[in-house]
């Protein structure tokens, strides 16, 4: 039994070594991201849109794990967030509460979202949208 365990250990080391050598040649890196929940989303968020994910089991691991494959050497910069502009869409009231304000902003500004902003006795519908 001990010989079998040792043999399995050596085979696993060879597999890991081979994958590391292949990574260096192909310039592809591997990142283990834990459980498979939202695997592809987490992989792309961490390593960019060109990364690829795989959710599967490994020998001796009872749960499926998320593995992310991405290009090495080039950090995946996050795209700059679009500049936000502000605008208005009227007055908030009982007839036009928060949801109404949000819908008005979405109709008035492409990609817009709205919220009610109370200033003194007035509640204004304030919009944010990408410039």
Q: CA–CA separation, 127 vs 112, rounded Å?
A: 6
Query: How does pLDDT run across 59-77, given as a tens digit for each residue?
Result: 666 778 889 998 887 555 6
Q: How remote is the C-alpha of 39 from its chain's centroid?
A: 9
Q: CA–CA separation, 36 vs 58, rounded Å?
A: 13
Q: How many alpha carbons lie under 13 Å from residue 131 in its C-beta half-sphere? A: 7
- pLDDT > 50? residue 42: yes
Query: How does pLDDT run across 19-34, given as a tens digit for each residue?
Result: 444 444 558 898 888 8
* pTM beyond cutoff 0.95: no
Percent of the chain whose predicted confidence (pLDDT) is above 70: 72
């Amino acid at each position: 039994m001990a010989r079998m365990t040792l043999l399995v250990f050596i085979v696993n080391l060879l597999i890991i070594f081979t994958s590391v050598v292949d990574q260096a040649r192909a310039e592809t890196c591997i990142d283990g991201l834990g459980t498979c929940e939202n695997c592809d989303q987490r992989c792309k968020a961490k390593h960019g849109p060109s990364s690829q994910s795989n959710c599967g089991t490994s020998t001796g691991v009872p749960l499926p794990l998320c593995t992310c494959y991405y290009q090495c050497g080039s950090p995946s910069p996050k795209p700059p967030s679009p500049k936000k502009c502000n605008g208005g869409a009227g007055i908030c009231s009982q007839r036009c509460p928060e949801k109404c304000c949000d819908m008005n902003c979405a109709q008035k500004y492409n990609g817009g979202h709205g919220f009610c902003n109370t200033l003194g006795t007035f509640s204004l519908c304030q919009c944010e949208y990408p410039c």
